[in-house]
Structures are given as structure tokens and as C-alpha cells.
């Protein structure tokens, strides 16, 4: 059975990072954007990271420019924005596509495991996938679901 640990992705600084590095943790995988109406969700994502990280939880952020061109910056600009505006400490990965022929294979897997309102497509920025400690995708949440509202679901997996 394929799990999220079978995939890897480039980090914002260009290093290939196998998701196997997160094996045994509960993960919240999110496609992000710096100039979106949902961008303030970074603050709640970081709150979750700081509160639950010591218990084996991590947010993984994947910038995406496919929705309204709301992530136009370079890797360095994204890193600076996340650090200065939201003091992000969770791992941020290189800008990716989440839909279409060039979608990151990880996101193809996530969408297959938990289709949404648009089937296997992602509708907008800040779609969230909750993954258990075994690497299985257990839930999908839309952009309008605030990260803070997920704490009970995350706690159940911890």
C-alpha cells in the first residue's frame, strides 16, 4: 500500500527531502499562497505546529501559484515572507502544481486517497490533508476550514 512516506519533494532551499523523514508523525499537508484571502491561515498553522509539534505532529507547506497567481514569488521571497510575516517554523517546500499534468506526485496521491468536491482536483489554496502516523490520508479539508478547527481531529491521531 502506498503511503505519503513513499514520496519526496524539494524544499524551498532546493534540497530533495524524502517524506520518510516524517515517518511516525501526524501530518497536515497544505497547499499555500502568500497573496490569498486565506493567507492569514499561516498563523493558525504555526500555532498548531508549536502546540502539537512536540507530540509528533508537523505541518508541511507546499506553495502553489495555480489559483489566481497568488504565489508569484521566488523560493527566497516565499521563505522571507513566511519567516517575517508569520514566523513559520514548519517545513516549507518548493513551489509546486497541485492539479494538472505537472502536479507533484504526492498531491496526486493525496487527491486519489481523499477526493473532494471537484473529485480529484483541488479547488483553491489552503486545501488541507490530514495524515496519520502510518502515512495514510485520513481527511481532507477545504480552504474555508480554519486550521484551528482541526485540532480535535489532529489530537485523536496523536
pLDDT tens digits along 55-86? 999 999 999 999 999 999 999 999 999 999 99
Phi, psi of 6 (to 5 degrees): -85, 0
Give 117 or 72, the one with higher predicted confidence.
Answer: 72
Q: How far apart are CA 78 and CA 92, in angstroms?
A: 9
C-alpha cell at 123: 479547488
64 in active site: no
Give me the mean pLDDT over the 21-37 stretch. 97
Cα separation, 27 vs 59, in Å, equals: 6
**pLDDT over 70 for what percent of the chain?**
100
Q: d(Cα 141, Cα 158) in Å, to the nearest integer? A: 18
CATH class name, domain 4-157: alpha beta
What is the C-alpha separation between 81 and 71, in angstroms, rounded?
Answer: 11
**pLDDT for position 120:** 86
Whether 119 shows a pLDDT value over 90: the answer reads no
Q: How many CB atoms lie within 10 A of CB 50?
A: 12
| Confidence (pLDDT) at 20 | 97
Q: What angle do CA 89, 39, 65 make, to 5 degrees?
A: 95
* Catalytic residue (choose from 4, 26, 28, 36): 36
pTM of the full structure? 0.97
Amino acid at each position: 500500500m502506498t503511503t505519503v512516506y513513499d514520496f519526496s519533494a524539494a524544499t524551498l532551499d532546493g534540497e530533495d527531502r524524502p517524506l520518510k523523514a516524517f515517518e511516525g508523525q501526524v501530518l497536515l499537508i497544505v497547499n499555500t499562497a502568500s497573496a490569498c484571502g486565506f493567507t492569514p491561515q499561516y498563523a493558525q498553522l504555526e500555532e498548531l505546529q508549536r502546540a502539537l509539534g512536540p507530540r509528533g505532529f508537523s505541518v508541511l507547506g507546499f506553495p502553489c501559484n495555480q489559483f489566481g497567481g497568488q504565489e508569484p514569488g521566488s523560493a527566497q521571497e516565499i521563505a522571507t515572507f513566511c519567516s517575517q510575516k508569520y514566523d513559520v517554523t514548519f517545513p516549507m517546500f518548493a513551489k509546486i502544481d497541485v492539479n494538472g499534468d505537472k502536479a507533484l506526485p504526492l498531491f496526486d496521491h493525496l487527491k486519489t486517497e481523499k477526493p473532494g468536491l471537484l473529485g480529484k482536483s483541488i479547488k483553491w489554496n489552503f486545501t488541507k490533508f490530514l495524515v496519520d502516523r502510518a502515512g495514510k490520508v485520513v481527511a481532507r479539508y477545504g480552504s474555508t476550514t480554519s486550521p484551528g478547527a482541526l485540532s480535535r481531529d489532529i489530537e485523536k491521531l496523536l
